[in-house]
Amino acid sequence: MTFAELRALHALIGTALDDIQRTYTASAAPHPLHPPDADPDGTSPPDFPSLSAPYDPSSPSEALLHDPAVARACARIVAAAGQLTAAVQNPFLTICDATMTYHLPACMRVLEASHVVEILREAGPDGLHVERIAARVPYPIDSRTLAHVLRLLATHHVLAERAPDVFANNRLSSYIDTGKSVAEILSNPDSKYADTDGVAAFVGLNTDELFKSSAYLADALLRLPEDRPPTRRPHQEGEGEEGGEEGEERALTFCSRLHRFGAAMRGSARWEGESGILDGFDWASLEPGALVVDVGGGVGSHAMRLARAFPALRFVVQDRARVCEMGREVWKVQFPGAVEGGRVVFQGHDFFDEQPRVAREADVFLLRVITHDWPDADVRRILGRLREVAKPGARLVVGEHVLGEACHLGGRGADGAWDWPLLANGGRASACGHYMDMTMLSMFNAQERTAREMRALWASAGWCVGEVRRAAGNGGFGYIVAEPAVELHQGRL
């Protein structure tokens, strides 16, 4: 790293900040009764969201972050700042960061599971002394110990320490607020994530079984082949097949985790930005009455968003029978009439099995965060089952993190690559996708994939990738749009 590269990164941050401020300034509509150089009420441009204030989803400042130009500029700042930090920080301290941040998810789990965010929200903007926080936490946590946990989070800008041992929510901590009262949560802990945006559940999922599994990744990978069955996953090294529980306790844990997982999948929609799945494909190009088969669609959260935006489309949501039962109940409350009227059908189905007859009518097969759960051979089977029934003109739309290589291939800007001096994949700005890659490896011996890997794998199942849509500034999440390979129509595959 030379001074020229350091200054290039510095300049990139400044330019990106200018782009953001330009968009914020342009968003302020002038008041018809005041000249532009006055300072009339309501005409001042919104300021950038403050890190020290709680997250406000209704704020114009937050809404502007979804503007594509702002999202791209924010991502450039994250990428450049991360690379600049790696370049100038003492190498040993960077190694410490890389090898000791396992404490962060551990402390995040304490924060979420003990409902500290909700406790602090009820305390107000001035915060609460840790002794009073500990008194409301439903676990026997020593207040001094809790202070050290919360201080680590505050050091990483999650929470704010207003005074010694006095903590308050900030923009990041309040983002995982369920919005429920502490009393409501404590009266029925199993319903904490019900009717929420799912972000708290996403935090709980990541910092519980997924975090524990990651600790055993090296143990699994560094075993000799004869000592490691090919189907054994790293998380089994830690918990084993039985997860350390038996009988009723195991059943209750599974049920609780199943509900949390469903809520966490709602939370994971934040990967995609505001428009998300709506921009993943040209849904408006489909004819009225077109059928979308949501494969492994869970309770239909994403199908519901499409159904609201495109009222002429029909949907079949496929998943395990038990999940489908949950989905029907969710739709009865959140979108009454859709299931009862037949516009949306829940269908119990194992996507490794032959697709039901209705799939032959599908105009679009939708798979969102499904293929990353499975090794290549299994993905080939899943996509192959869809290819067997795909009619001419059908489309396959897959939503996943699309990983990028850290090196530049084919020149600057090739296949979504970021320009010099940044890493080709955006470095820190794309880290979420690479974290998920290791999560899939730890849990399922599976993986996220690069665009090159997807094209090759899809082709081996009879699908031709035509387009990869990446949303601005979302950490690499995108939609891969494919069509049936012509050779299959002609009977040559």
Torsion of CA 313, 318, 321, 324, to 10 degrees: -40
Q: What is the distance between the alpha carbons of residues 173 and 118, in angstroms, rounded to a whole number? A: 10
Of residues 300, 460, 446, the one with CA closest to residue 366: 300
305 near 276, Cβ under 8 Å?
yes
For residue 369, give Cα distances in angstroms to 93, 302, 426.
Answer: 35, 11, 22
For residue 96, give Cα distances in angstroms to 91, 211, 314, 427, 431.
Answer: 9, 19, 52, 19, 18
Burial label, 63 (beta-carbon count in 10 A; 0-12, 13-18, 19+):
middle
Residue 352, number of CB atoms within 10 A of its CB: 11
Locate 30 and state its tokens.
Answer: 């002038």
Q: What is the distance between the alpha carbons of residues 347 and 78, in angstroms, rounded to a whole number? A: 42
Q: Which of 115, 372, 401, 434 is catalytic?
A: 372
Residue with tokens 């009879």: 462
Q: What is the CA radius of gyration of the chain?
A: 24
Q: What is the distance between the alpha carbons of residues 338 and 344, in angstroms, rounded to a whole number? A: 6
Residues contacting residue 372 through CB under 8 Å, at least 6 positions apart: 400, 401, 436, 437, 440, 446, 447, 448, 449
Q: Is 66 a catalytic residue?
A: no
Q: Which letter, b or e, does each residue of 320-341 get, where b requires 16 or more Cβ atoms within 10 Å of its Cβ?
A: eeebbebbbebbeeebeebbee
Locate 262 and state its tokens.
Answer: 């469903």
Residues contacting residue 350 through CB under 8 Å, at least 6 positions apart: 320
207 near 106, Cβ under 8 Å?
yes
Q: Which residues pair with 477 in a beta bridge?
A: 401
Cis ω before 57 (30° cut-off from 0): no
Locate 98 and state its tokens.
Answer: 């890389």
Name the region of 153 (left: φ>0; alpha: ψ -120 to 50; beta: rest): alpha
488 near 387, Cβ under 8 Å?
yes
User: Which residues participate in catalysis according to the annotation?
Assistant: 372
